[in-house]
Amino acid sequence: MPEDLAIFIDWENIYISTVTEYGTKPNVSAILEKSREYGRIVTANAYADWTDGDFRDAPPTLYSNGISPRYISARYFPGGRSHKRRTNSIDVMLAVECSDYLHYHPQVDTYVLVTGDGDFIPLVSLLRSRGKTVVVIGVSEATSYHLIESADHFISYASLLEEERAARARDRAPKKKAADPYKELVRAVEALSKGGKTRVLGQVKQQMIVQIGSFDERNEGFKKFKDFVVEAERRGLVNTVDQDLELQVYLPDEKVPEGPDSDLANEEPKEEVSVNSQVNGRSDGLPRQEEETEEPGEAVQVEAERAGSSAKANFDLLEDLTSYELRTICKSVAGLREPASFVEIFGSIRDLDERGELELSRDEIREVMEAMLESEFLAPTRTKPYEQAKANITFYALNRDREEVKTALESS
């Protein structure tokens, strides 16, 4: 039985985007047809000021397709209407009604947001924290790549038009060979590099969608686009770098920024242990000064010696975590392909927090991982990240022989 699905359309956003980029009004039928691939549509709303000249002809078409036009009066600043329009009220009303629907209709599993506005990222986070799947449909060129990253799935409006054209021409045109996703990833990074654009994960995926019409990492066996990029890095096709607080993608022959933020997927653990006093077993998050002579993998141990006590003395996994928290973390790490990199383990725990399964800050996650290393819950191993790599790096595997780990994994 298909899952129930709700659609919320920021009509002004999608209308302006399609008219600007493609010179055409939104194709409602194509949007609904694509949405049905994710479930049974139980409600669909579109939001706009329908008295506006650009939108007044849309309601009859929306009604005929089972979409309810929700009227939001436009507001203007004093001193004239030209270029003074406020659109925030539309975003707020869509978010409020979507949240209200989430509360009163818990049986709906999937939400489709038709927009490219990055202001809806908090709404996406709310829906996902309640266990809902969020699909965003938008014009690639006009969609916030942070919105793309925050959603479970992103569908380019251009791909909808392409699918319709392909369906009409399927019997007339010879079948094309399916594009190699890894080659398209490299081509996307090259295109962004030449254009001097940001190479964060959302932007890279967006470029791939522009190139091949549609892309879904699930078809390649990955739950998240980040996992697909990490696999490409293991194959020596790209490099990932933690830069400007975001994961960015570089080509192997490009000069990668050096420093503490370099090469996120291959970097050794460099997380700091605070030497200041702690409250309730939690760190105050203040970083320490690292010595340039320290080996990255030894940073935790050296700092613990300087503090005069071990990381375990500061943060005890068995005392400072509840049995539920420890069990959830161990099962999350066990679900990774082992051995895993430090950042993969960190990301898996951070995902638990984003899904609402845990409540841990970034500093607390670091403390947990340091304690897991110190307490030998994690076993380090040196190996090449991919066959053509020139040097080994440190990966980590869950120590399943440890009694506490066995208990955590066996419990329901």
Whether pLDDT at 161 is above 50? yes
Nearest CA to 87 out of 52, 61, 57 is that of 52
Q: What is the mean pLDDT of the chain?
A: 76
pLDDT for the residue 311: 40
Query: Please, are residues 138 and 114 in contact by the beta-carbon 8 Å criterion?
Result: yes
**Residue pLDDT, tens place only, 354-390:** 777 777 777 788 888 888 888 888 888 887 666 655 5
Q: Which residue has the higher pLDDT, 300 or 82?
A: 82
Q: What is the pLDDT of residue 9?
A: 95
What is the DSSP pairing of strand 393-398 with strand 378-383?
Answer: antiparallel
Q: Of 9-13, 145-149, 166-170, which has the strongest mean pLDDT? A: 9-13
Q: Domain spanning 181-250 has what CATH number?
A: 3.30.420
CA proximity to 105, closest of 3, 243, 214 = 3
305: confidence class by pLDDT, cuts 50, 70, 90: very low
| Bridge partners, residue 46, by sequence | 9, 69
Q: How far is CA 126 from CA 98, 102, 120, 131, in A?
A: 10, 10, 10, 9
Q: Please tell us whether the domain made up of 4-169 is placed in CATH 3.40.50.1010.
A: yes
| 170 vs 3: which has the higher pLDDT | 3
Residue 219 has a pLDDT of 82
User: Residue 216's pLDDT is what?
Assistant: 81
| 4-17 pLDDT per residue, tens | 999 999 998 899 88
Question: Given pLDDT bands bounded at 50, 70 and 90, which one contains residue 149?
Answer: confident
- 296-410 carries CATH number 3.40.50: no
What share of the chain has pLDDT > 70, as a percent?
75
The residues near 74 (Cβ < 8 Å, ≥ 6 apart) are 49, 51, 52, 85, 86, 87, 89
Q: Give the integer Cα–Cα distance in Å for 390 and 259.
A: 20
pLDDT for 359 equals 75
Task: State the amino acid at position 303 in one-letter form.
Answer: E
Q: What is the pLDDT of residue 262?
A: 40
Per-residue pLDDT, averaged over 98-119, amounts to 93
Rounded Cα distance, 210 and 205, in Å: 9
Look at residue 77 and tell me whether its pLDDT is greater than 60.
Answer: no
The winner for highest mean pLDDT among 132-141, 240-249, 332-341 is 132-141
Residue 401 pLDDT level (bands cut at 50, 70, 90): confident
pLDDT mean over 113-140: 92
Q: What is the pLDDT of residue 365?
A: 83
Identify the residue with better confidence: 111 or 310: 111
pLDDT the model gives residue 131 = 92
> What is the predicted pLDDT for the residue at 142?
82
Of the listed ranges 4-13, 101-110, 242-251, 305-314, the least confidently predicted one is 305-314
Q: Are strands 75-76 and 68-71 parallel, antiparallel or unpaired?
A: unpaired
Question: Tokens 């009859």 identify what position?
Answer: 60
- For the chain, the domains span 4-169, 181-250, 296-410
Give pLDDT, residue 4.
93
Q: Using a pLDDT cut of 90, give the percent of the chain over it.
A: 20
pLDDT reported for residue 273: 37
- Which helix (H) or strand (E) segment holds residue 324: the answer is helix 323-334
For strands 108-114 and 4-10, give the pairing. Answer: parallel
Residues 6+ apart with CB under 8 A from 103: none
Q: What is the pLDDT of residues 252-294, one digit of tens each?
A: 888 766 544 444 444 444 443 333 333 344 434 434 343 333 3
- pLDDT classification of 353: cutoffs 50, 70, 90: confident
Give burial (CB, 10 Å; 0-12/13-18/19+) of 188. Answer: buried
Residue with tokens 């449909």: 137
Q: Which residue has the higher pLDDT, 239 or 99?
A: 99
What local confidence, expressed as pLDDT, does residue 223 receive? Answer: 79
Record the tokens describing residue 274, joined without a space.
């605070």
Q: Is the pLDDT of residue 164 over 90?
A: no
Half-sphere exposure of 382 (CA within 13 A, CB side): 4
Q: What is the pLDDT of residue 82?
A: 46
Inform me whether the pLDDT recorded for 45 exceeds 90: yes
End-to-end Cα spacing for the chain: 27
With 80 as the cut, is the pLDDT of residue 238 above it? yes
3-state secondary structure 71-112: ECCCEECCCCCCCCEECHHHHHHHHHHHHHHHHHCCCEEEEE
